[in-house]
């Protein structure tokens, strides 16, 4: 499912005459097979999010290679995107859109029919304890409810591979184990 070799990312910034360099990720080798659940553990700033942003094609590696869900990260990023779901640490819903619409239009982008997307979305709303919030705008939801909607967005198109970046942050204690 994921095979990465030497995946690295260095951020370089030139501010005035001062150049700065952050080696966020240096040489990650990773092999994940279908059916496996893998977690990154590391302190704040360790490079977990940066690694995930590279594996989800949002950030170009400065070195290294990877195949994700059978597609080459560098030569076939669209293929990777088609096959994955991603719940980003920062969240991903537009504040003004209705929650249900957001979910359905996301699934539509992956070729799911409106009827099927609506059915899946409603099921996810039930499973994630979001019932009654289909018409609500994310900006009018609580932090934990918004996080649950982020999780639904990562799952609604039924991807074969899901990346979850701290999905339980902001969820109440009883909801955390339920995510498994």
Q: Which residues contact Mg ion (rule: CB under 5 A)?
A: 48-49, 89
d(CA 84, CA 76): 13
Binding window for ligand ATP (CB under 6 A); candidates: 41-49, 78-86, 130-138, 150-158: 41-49
Q: What is the smallest separation between the CB atom of 123 and ligand ATP, expressed in angstroms?
A: 30
Tokens 């080459």 belong to 72
Q: What is the smallest separation between the CB atom of 84 and ligand ATP, expressed in angstroms?
A: 18
Residue 10 engages ligand ATP in binding (rule: CB under 6 A)? no
d(CA 119, CA 111): 14
SS3 content of the chain, % helix, strand, coil (to 5): 35, 25, 40
Binding window for ligand ATP (CB under 6 A); candidates: 37-45, 92-100, 130-138, 148-156: 37-45
With CA atoms as reference, report the closest residue to 137 among 82, 97, 164: 97
> What is the phi/psi pair of residue 82, to 5°?
-65, -25
* CA–CA distances in Å: residue 150 to residues 138, 140, 154: 10, 14, 6
* The one among 2, 8, 28, 48 contacting ligand ATP by CB under 6 A: 48
Contact string 77-116 vs ligand ATP (x = CB under 6 A): ------------x---------------------------
Cα 152 to the center of its chain, rounded Å? 11
Of 102 and 165, which CB lies nearer to ligand ATP in the complex structure? 165
Of 46 and 109, which CB lies nearer to ligand ATP in the complex structure? 46
Residue 44 engages ligand ATP in binding (rule: CB under 6 A)? yes
């Amino acid at each position: 499912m994921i095979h990465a070799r030497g995946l690295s990312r260095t951020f370089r910034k030139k501010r005035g005459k001062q150049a700065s360099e952050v080696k966020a990720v240096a040489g990650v080798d990773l092999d994940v097979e279908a059916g496996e659940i893998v977690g990154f553990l590391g302190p704040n700033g360790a490079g977990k999010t940066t690694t995930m942003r590279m594996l989800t094609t949002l950030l170009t590696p400065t070195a290294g290679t990877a195949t994700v869900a059978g597609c080459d990260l560098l030569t076939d990023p669209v293929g990777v995107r088609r096959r994955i779901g991603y719940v980003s640490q920062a969240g991903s819903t537009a504040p003004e859109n209705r929650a249900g619409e957001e979910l359905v239009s996301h699934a539509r982008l992956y070729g799911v029919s409106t009827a099927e997307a609506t059915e899946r979305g409603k099921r996810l709303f039930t499973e994630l304890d979001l019932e009654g919030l289909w018409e609500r705008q994310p900006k009018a939801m609580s932090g934990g409810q918004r996080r649950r909607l982020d999780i639904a967005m990562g799952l609604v198109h039924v991807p074969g591979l899901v990346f979850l970046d701290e999905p339980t942050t902001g969820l109440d204690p009883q909801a955390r184990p339920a995510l498994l």
